[in-house]
Chains A and B, each alone.
Chain A
Amino acid sequence: MKRILILVFLVMLLSICLSGCGQQEPVTLRLMTHDSFDIAAETMAQFTEETGIAVEVFKAGDAGAMVNQAVLAAGDPLADVIFGIDNTFLSRALNNKIFIPYESPVLDQIRDDLKLDPQNRALPVDFGDVCLNYDRNWFAKNSLDPPRSLDDLIDPAYAGLTVVENAATSSPGLAFLLATIDTYGEMGYLDYWQKLEGNDVLVTDGWEDAYYGAFSASSDGSRPVVVSYASSPAAEVFFAETALDEAPTAAVVSDGSCFRQVEFVGILQGTKHETEARQLVDFLLSRPFQEDIPLHMFVYPANEEAQLPEVFIEHSQVPQYPATISPEEIAANREAWVQAWTETVLR
């Protein structure tokens, strides 16, 4: 009698289990980003509402650290989708085959000049320009014309006014170096840097040390020219303590003086939720998300149909002809270029 009861009980248990397993469990996607990633909670909630997929975002260090972690975890990824690999690290990511290609229907709305991967393994999601920024007040007070191009920086009139970041350890630092390589060529850029070094350029380790440590407009430092982003003046207005009519800083956007950084998003090889990941990628490329990008990450949306916020239109400019170098070239020559730069400028 007892045995029969136990058997019945087990059968009941089993059937409950099976029926329970038949139901769909809500999927949670993991989105891996770098530390600068930011977006409105509402926007992410919108995605979850529309598709029923929850998104868990986790930050994995700066852009370089993030790429390396993704490469180390290739095949057994830390996330389903990765956001924020930029063009200087793109080749490293592609060569290590960490992506699953996906030709998203939203790609029609994305600017063509940003599509650096024809196989659509990495899809462009935003772009920013690394440009020289200068302190307007300082130049007005000292009756000096603000710099208009890279050439001005080696002019003796601008001696001791510039601060740049270390190309070996800083993303904008590297971008600025690449801009000089594109403008002066591989034969001429070291000459430029030698002159710049002779003109008393200050090299700091990272962006924070330059911007919040040496740039006169935002710190107790004394250098009125810094390598930062084209969107930094807009950020200064947006995050100002009291409402400003004019940005306290401005960017130098003449041809060849800025370097374009493009950021990409991709589905990671080894993910167990490819269908859902595709939906997330579509969402990241679509208007609602793209329009939210400027005020959160202070870069420009890749989607041409996305509208820019006012503060960007009024206080920031997009350079028409920024310097660009192909990701393959960067991957092949980066170490040599940085080594040569370090020898010239730091030693």
Chain B
Amino acid sequence: MLRRLWPFAGLLIWLPVLFFILFYFYPLGTIFTVSFFPEGELQFGALENIVTTPYYWHILWFTFWQALLSTVLVIALAFPGAYVFARYRFRGKDTIRTISTLPFVLPTVVVANAFLALIGTRGILNTLLMDLFNLSQPPINLQYTIWAILLAHIFFNYSVALRIISSAWQNLGPELGQAAQMLGASPSRVFWSITLPLLRGPVLAAAVLVFIFCFTSFGVILILGGPRFATLEVEIYRQAVYLFNLPVAAALSIFQILFTFFFMWFYTRHQARTSRPLELRSAQGLEKPVHTLRDRLIVYGNLLLMLLLLGLPLAALVLRSFQGTEGWTLRYYQELFINRQGSLFFVPPAEAIANSTGFALTTVMLATSLGLISAWALAGKTPVVYKNRLFNRFQTLLKPLLDPMFMLPLATSAVTLGFGFILALNKPPLNLRRSILLVPIAHTLVAMPFVIRSILPAMRRINPRLREAASILGADPPHVMLHVDWPLIRRALLVGAVFAFTISMGEFGATIFIARPQTPTMPVAIYRFLSQPGALNYGQAMAMSCLLMLVCAAGFVAIERFRIGDEGEF
């Protein structure tokens, strides 16, 4: 049966495309229509206004260069980390990798407080330095400067780059490098001429993700940078929510989307053309233990850096949740379970955890399946539907546009999309305006780009000779997929799944504007605590944040343990 349906497997690409049309383009189109055709006539006043006002160009410029700088810093710092994780075997490797991904899941407000506890004017570092050196003024004053923004971007995005690059590096066979060395190349030459070009795909993939993320950064800019720094996203929010100036907000949104689309389009064309299939090897064969002094310096130096950058703020957070006004206490954790005022909106931690995890698992399933289909089609591995020439031509034309298109939700302001949902999804059969399904759908829109960016390079690197060999030995296309492609991309798929899980648990801005029924999740509970004064409220927010980190870490461990069969690790 599978064999007969196989030629039509190429049609599966329409599933994610349909998903996008229904839940991205349709709401977006609706909100743009309302913004630009308020009374039925096309009004470009807002667009004109934006193009001619220097203020907006200034904003665009700032948005761009802070994202670029952040990306460069993240990649520069994560690259050596990726090397360490790909080539060395040491104790606690999995734990450290899990911890390094936790920042991604924390609400920005909580992270801001963690940073404050660490580098604020009355934070741990400053107090320590002031005591040690007898200073009268706190030496570190990074709050509300661009440095705070950059540091926070690194903190959030480090693990994205780490996972994507190290996952690819792990499977890089040493043959090409060894051949070069036999021909007389020095180790550094091997690195620059062989390893680096081979890693270009994953490095760029990570860079693109991080760039878009920083480009559309919202909470970090607002909270850690303060109101003096305005990006496009912040401006869109301001115009849409506070001034209810939909035409301007929509115009800015379009700018953001178009800019990202073209950027992505150039990148994906480049990627598609320069990807080379490789000899992929088992990761375990390539890892070496930490022996020599050089090894030790590299590995432990890097781990120390990660500890400082990622571990300290997280540790500050955990500590704060146990620090009461009179010393160490478990009070905040206990208080989480008490509904002191009999409130209707009391969120029992168990319920919050269950809801968060439920949404996250749904998102993982949706995002990985749709992402897998998309990456499969984009990598050109789907069978061509021979029967219909026109259809093929159509699909060939569509494909180069699909890759950048799938990235667009990352570049789209949550406000715009949220308002779009209200306008668009109010008629059956899409009467989902108030449905609980909207939450995993919105999360999936944001998670899919991550999944695709993780899987696609892996798919493109599969050596076609392996597939051909399998075919010659008698495997039909479905079996080739199952027994050759699948084991080689499984690791990348796991990386994507972890991202999808994290994104859903952390509930990025994607869901701020979705009015949902009472299914409280952990980030929602945290925000609730932080919206009222009182030591108990603040402490509970910290405690719930720690629970969030714990649940997330447990989720990662569970996902990474997911192995099908006894096949070796690729």
Contact = CB atoms under 8 A, between A and B. Distances in A.
Interface string A325-347: 00000000011001000000011
Contacts of B344: 38-41, 43-44, 57
Residue among A65, A232, A242 facing the most chain B CB atoms (10 A cut-off) = A65
Contacts of B534: 235-236, 238-240
Given A78-B515, A169-B242, A73 B531 contact: no
A180 interface: no
Interface of A: 32, 35-44, 56-62, 64-65, 67-69, 71-73, 76, 78, 92, 166, 168-169, 202-209, 211-213, 216, 218-222, 228, 232, 235-236, 238-242, 249, 295-296, 298, 334-335, 338, 346-347
A241 B531 contact: no
A44 to B, nearest CB: 6
B422 A69 contact: yes
A40 B342 contact: yes
Q: Which 7 A-B pairs have the closest CB atoms?
A: A239-B534, A166-B227, A60-B515, A205-B222, A239-B536, A235-B533, A220-B122
B136 interface: no
B530 interface: yes
B419 interface: yes
B330 to A, nearest CB: 12
A73 B243 CA distance: 17
B300 interface: no
Interface residues of B, number: 60
Interface in B131-152: 144
Interface in B379-412: none
Contact of B518 (A58, A68, A221, A222): A58
Interface stretch (B113-121, B168-176, B460-468, B494-502): B113-121
Contacts of A35: 527-528, 531
A206 B219 CA distance: 11
Interface stretch (B154-162, B233-241, B263-271): B233-241
B265 to A, nearest CB: 32
B513 interface: yes
Interface string B526-548: 01101111111111000000000
B518 A241 contact: no
Contacts of B479: none
A38 B422 contact: no
Nearest to A229: B533
A38 B525 CA distance: 13
A335 to B, nearest CB: 6
B310 to A, nearest CB: 20
Given A169-B237, A206-B223, A241-B539, 8 more contacts: A58-B515, A168-B238, A169-B222, A236-B533, A238-B534, A241-B325, A296-B343, A338-B243
Residue among A238, A239, A296 facing the most chain B CB atoms (10 A cut-off) = A239
Contacts of A346: 227-228
A168 B230 CA distance: 12
A13 B518 CA distance: 37
B533 A228 contact: yes
Interface string B507-519: 0000011011110
Interface in B204-257: 222-223, 226-228, 234, 237-238, 240-245
A203 B230 CA distance: 13
Contacts of B342: 40-42
Given A65-B513, A239-B535, A203 B240 contact: no
B528 A222 contact: no
A39 B343 contact: yes
Contacts of A235: 532-534
Contact of B530 (A39, A208, A241, A295): A208
A78 B433 contact: yes
A68 B325 contact: no
A221 B117 CA distance: 9
A209 B531 contact: no
B123 interface: yes
Query: Which label, helix, strand, loop or mixed, suits the secondary structure of the A interface?
Result: mixed
A242 B237 CA distance: 40
Contact of A241 (B419, B434, B535): B535
B325 A298 contact: no
Given A72-B422, A212-B538, A220-B117, A335 B533 contact: no
A166 B222 CA distance: 10
B426 interface: yes
A241 B121 contact: no
B326 interface: yes
B533 A65 contact: no
Contacts of B226: 202-205
B533 A242 contact: no
15 contacts: A32-B515, A35-B527, A37-B345, A38-B345, A39-B343, A58-B517, A65-B241, A68-B419, A71-B244, A169-B238, A204-B226, A213-B113, A218-B535, A239-B533, A296-B343
B448 interface: no
B109 interface: yes
B535 A206 contact: no
Given A41-B342, A166-B227, A221 B121 contact: yes
B162 to A, nearest CB: 29
A241 B331 contact: yes
Nearest to B423: A72
Interface in B323-359: 324-326, 329, 331, 341-346
B112 interface: yes
Contacts of B223: 204-206, 209, 213
A58 B243 contact: no
Contacts of B122: 216, 220-222
Nearest to B332: A241
Interface string B88-130: 0000000000000000000001001100110011110000000
A5 to B, nearest CB: 36
A72 B234 CA distance: 21
A241 B228 CA distance: 35
B113 to A, nearest CB: 7
A36 B528 CA distance: 8
A69 B515 contact: yes
